[in-house]
C-alpha cells in the first residue's frame, strides 16, 4: 500500500516532461438569445445590439455576435476583441460586436456560440422570428408603450410554440405605458445617445439593458 501511495504521489507532484503540451482549454458554448419585435418600430435592433454589447463586456471574449444585422456601408470603429471575433466569423466589426447577415441562421449561431455570446436580431431585415426562436436558449419580445400588451402577449405565445418561453420587455418606457403594469419582465429607457452607442456596438447603460442581461444570466444559474 505504501509503495502504491508513493507512486500516485509521484505522478501528481512530478513536473511534466519537457515537450509535454498543456491540455487545450475549451470554453463552454455561450447563450444564444433571439429578439423579436411585437410590431415593427419597437426598436428591436437597438435593443439587440445594446444587449449584445452588455453581454460582450461581461464575457471573457469581450465581444459578441449579432446575427441578422444589416451593417451600414460606412466603416465602424471596432475594439480589438470585436475585430478578432469579426475576422474569425467573416463578419463586419462594430465596437465590441461582429455583425452577420441572416444566411443559415442556425449554423452560424452554432459556430459563433463557441467563441462569444450570440444575439439573433429577428427584426425586419433579420431571420424569421420563429426560426430564430427555434435555435435560441432565450427569447425576448420587444414592445414599446404604443404597442398593445395583448399583441405582445400573442407574439410571445406564438414563439413559445417553437422555442423557450419568451420574456416581454418594454422599450422606451420612460413615459410609462398604459395597461403595461405587471405585463413585462423588464423596462428599458430611451436615450438618443444610448441608441447611437448601441447601434455602433458599444455599451449603452442609459438604455437599461444591464437589467435584461441580469435576468437572462440568472436563468442559467
* In a domain? residue 174: yes
Q: Is 78 helix (H, G, I), strand (E, B) or coil?
A: strand
Count H helices and E strands in the chain, helices first.
8, 8
Question: Which spans in 105-167 are helix H?
Answer: 105-112, 129-134, 149-160
pLDDT per residue as tens digits for the range 53-98 = 999 999 999 999 999 867 665 556 899 999 999 999 999 999 999 9
User: Residue 193 is part of a domain; what is its CATH number?
Assistant: 3.40.50.300
Which structural domain, as residue segments, surrounds residue 74?
29-218
pLDDT value at position 62? 96
Average pLDDT for the chain: 84
Q: How many domains does the chain have?
A: 1
Amino acid at each position: 500500500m505504501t509503495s502504491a501511495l508513493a507512486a500516485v504521489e509521484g505522478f501528481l507532484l512530478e513536473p511534466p516532461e519537457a515537450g509535454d503540451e498543456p491540455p487545450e482549454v475549451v470554453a463552454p458554448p455561450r447563450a444564444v438569445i433571439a429578439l423579436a419585435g411585437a410590431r415593427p418600430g419597437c426598436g428591436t435592433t437597438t435593443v439587440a445590439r445594446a444587449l449584445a454589447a452588455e453581454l460582450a463586456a461581461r464575457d471573457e471574449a469581450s465581444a459578441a455576435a449579432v446575427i441578422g444585422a444589416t451593417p451600414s456601408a460606412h466603416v465602424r470603429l471596432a475594439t480589438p476583441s470585436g475585430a478578432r471575433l469579426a475576422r474569425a466569423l467573416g463578419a463586419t466589426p462594430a465596437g465590441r460586436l461582429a455583425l452577420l447577415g441572416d444566411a443559415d441562421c442556425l449554423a452560424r449561431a452554432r459556430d459563433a456560440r463557441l467563441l462569444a455570446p450570440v444575439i439573433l436580431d429577428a427584426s425586419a431585415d433579420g431571420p424569421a422570428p420563429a426560426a430564430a426562436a427555434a435555435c435560441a436558449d432565450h427569447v425576448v419580445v420587444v414592445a414599446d408603450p404604443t404597442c398593445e400588451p395583448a399583441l405582445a402577449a400573442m407574439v410571445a405565445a406564438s414563439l413559445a410554440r417553437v422555442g423557450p418561453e419568451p420574456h416581454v420587455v418594454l422599450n422606451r418606457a420612460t413615459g410609462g405605458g398604459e395597461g403595461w403594469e405587471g405585463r413585462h419582465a423588464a423596462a428599458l429607457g430611451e436615450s438618443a445617445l444610448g441608441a447611437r452607442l448601441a447601434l455602433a456596438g458599444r455599451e449603452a447603460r442609459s438604455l437599461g439593458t444591464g437589467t435584461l442581461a441580469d435576468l437572462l444570466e440568472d436563468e442559467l444559474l
